[in-house]
Amino acid sequence: MSTITERLRRALGSDVLGLLGLFVITVIAFGLTTPHFLSVGNFESIGFQLPDLGLLTLAMLAPIVSGGINLAVIATANLSGLTLAWILNMNGGPQAGVVPFVIGVVAALAVGGASGAAMGAVIAYFGAHPILASLAMMIFLKGLGEFLTRGGDISGFPAFLGQLGHGVVLGVPVPMLVFTVAAILWHVMLARTRHGFSVGMIGSNPRASEYSGIPVKRSLTLIYTISGVMCAIAGILMLTEFNSVRVGHGEALLLVTVLACFLGGVDPNGGFGRVAPVFVSLLILQTLSSGLNLLGANQHLSTAVWGLFLIAVMVFRFASSARLRGLFKTVGK
């Protein structure tokens, strides 16, 4: 028993293990108290709801590890979605074929990447504070989107898009597949590539990183660019799910993405953050929300419960690390 937990701990890290435990507890608690919670339908609905928040959280995660933040994730996703919608509408709307869709997707990814690159360059080369730079980018993108759409919805897309947004492959919702692949790629990018290594170093100390020969400015610009591309993927997915695009769609998720990162043990000061624990945190948040929904609670209540839950986790983490520090103090001096 102890060797199995030990092996798991080594493979996943103690943070993931703790969160997985929390996830299991949540599932069991709702399973015992809520009818229909342990049903295929419920887990399928979690699989459809989780990916939007999940992809946006990944887009938030990488800039936080680099010591910054990207407050423009929702706005970037919206504008990328608009780009795709615009190209589809130009090519017959509901009658548009696959080719315009592919072109639209490429254009949407390009728009997402470009807005990320612009933001990253301002942060890296002009030394702007990431909060201010990304806030400015958020306001700009949002304003631009409202100007282009006059504040309304754009809808009327080809039917095959619905199969993407609502399809199921081998019992797994397509959006969940997209999110899982994105999470794996994100994990490889942060944990195994030179770029990911550099991002962590920069997040801890950009000057010392530069002295060691890390291309700090280039890496920062790149990480915001990739974050923008991830936002675009989220925007495209949202379009296929809702069959419409509107500026401001999903705005309530912005700060939840930040908190999901911190719940997953990402260091708010930068330098440290892993995808796996963040992934499990997202599972927990979505399970909480679905469970409460099945209990008949108002959707806003589940947002409030998320907040309380995150506060509890922060207090617990702080208390346990303070206890550790106390221990070192007595031994160290």
Per CB under 8 A, residues contacting other proteins are 188, 192-194, 197-198, 200-201, 204-205, 207-215, 271-272, 330-333
From residue 253, how far is each of 133, 209, 256, 320 by CA, in Å? 20, 33, 5, 29
Q: Which residues pair with 296 in a beta bridge?
A: none
- For 170, the 3-state DSSP assignment is coil
Q: Give the whole-angstrom CA distance, residue 274 versus residue 178.
A: 19
Shortest distance in whole angstroms from residue 270 CB to other proteins: 9
How many CB atoms within 10 Å of residue 72?
A: 31
Shortest distance in whole angstroms from residue 228 CB to other proteins: 22
The answer to whether the beta carbons of residues 60 and 261 sit under 8 Å apart is: yes
Shortest distance in whole angstroms from residue 331 CB to other proteins: 5
Q: Which residues contact 75 (CB under 8 A, 6 or more apart)?
A: 137, 138, 139, 141, 142, 145, 247
Q: Based on CB atoms, which residue is closest to other proteins, 171 or 332?
A: 332
How many CB atoms within 10 Å of residue 49?
A: 18
Shortest distance in whole angstroms from residue 326 CB to other proteins: 11
Shortest distance in whole angstroms from residue 224 CB to other proteins: 21
The answer to whether the beta carbons of residues 293 and 31 sit under 8 Å apart is: no
Tokens 């937990």 belong to residue = 5
Q: Based on CB atoms, which residue is closest to other proteins, 7 or 192?
A: 192
Q: Based on CB atoms, which residue is closest to other proteins, 140 or 272?
A: 272
**Nearest of 117, 323, 107, 110 to residue 219 by alpha carbon:** 117
Q: Based on CB atoms, which residue is closest to other proteins, 167 or 215?
A: 215
Q: Based on CB atoms, which residue is closest to other proteins, 62 or 285?
A: 62
Shortest distance in whole angstroms from residue 195 CB to other proteins: 9
Q: Based on CB atoms, which residue is closest to other proteins, 200 or 265?
A: 200
